[in-house]
Amino acid sequence: MTIDSRRILFSDDSLLAVNKLSGELVVAGAGTSDKLSLLDFLRKDYPGLKPLHRLDFETSGVVVFARTKQVAEAVVTSKFKGWKKTYVTLVAGRMPRPSGAIRTPLPSRGEGVVPAETVYRVLEVFANSCLVEADITTGRHHQIRRHFESIGHPLLLDEEYGNKGINRVFTREFHLRKFFLHAAKLSFPHPVTGQLLTIEAPLPRVFEGVLKQLKKL
């Protein structure tokens, strides 16, 4: 079985970029051996593939793999210099400002509390929620989810960091239970040519459908 060609966002001799679905594992972890990861699935057609970064289980969007060990090492050695990740998400409530930066330090595994920055722009305001675009200059664990929770506007339907009362109302109205966090765009210098690449992934259909309904409220 081969991945749907429409999910291949970029491919050359060095890199492969794929549109990850919400509910997919990028790489198999402990206790997840019963579910085939995206990496294992892709390796059937792309042997030698190496993951360059990961997205959380619930997050959809752009994920990039190296086609060779040398390319993977080049990216890691560069410490991902020049990489810019842009996400789109739905947060609870009406944001008081059209744009801003959240710099709440966050706990990091093995490093204690470390600096973190999320720069956001409000794309659309709905009755009781906002569509927000967020760039992260650091990649802390659950950074976007934790940062928006820290300013009182958690991701809708986020059961770990969100508002359970608001989530219940949203689930009742829209019959959905998964939060929306989409890695919409990734820009970075090509590890071989140095040319700036910008790779984008379209919004999932379910996400688009919710936005259409929210606009009618």
- The model's pLDDT over 100-143, given as tens digits with 9 standing for 90+, comes to 999 999 988 777 889 999 999 999 999 999 999 999 977 888 99
What CATH class does 84-174 carry? alpha beta
Residue of 194, 186, 182 lying closest to 84 (CA atoms): 186
CATH 3.30.2350.10 in the chain is located at 5-80+188-198, 84-174
pTM greater than the 0.85 cutoff = yes
Give the CATH class of 5-80+188-198: alpha beta
- Whole-number mean pLDDT of the chain? 93
Per-residue pLDDT in tens (0 to 9) along the chain, 217 residues: 688 999 999 999 999 999 999 999 999 876 555 678 999 999 999 999 999 999 999 999 999 999 999 999 999 999 999 999 999 999 999 999 999 999 999 988 777 889 999 999 999 999 999 999 999 977 888 999 999 999 999 999 999 999 999 999 999 999 999 999 999 999 999 999 999 999 999 999 999 999 999 998 8
Residue the block writes with tokens 């019963």: 34
**Residue 202 DSSP one-character state:** P
At residue 203's C-alpha, the angle toward residues 148 and 153, to 5°, is 15
CB atoms within 10 A of CB 16: 22
Residues known to be catalytic: 56
* Residue ranges with strand state E in 49-206: 50-51, 60-66, 84-92, 99-102, 106-108, 112-114, 118-125, 129-136, 181-189, 196-200
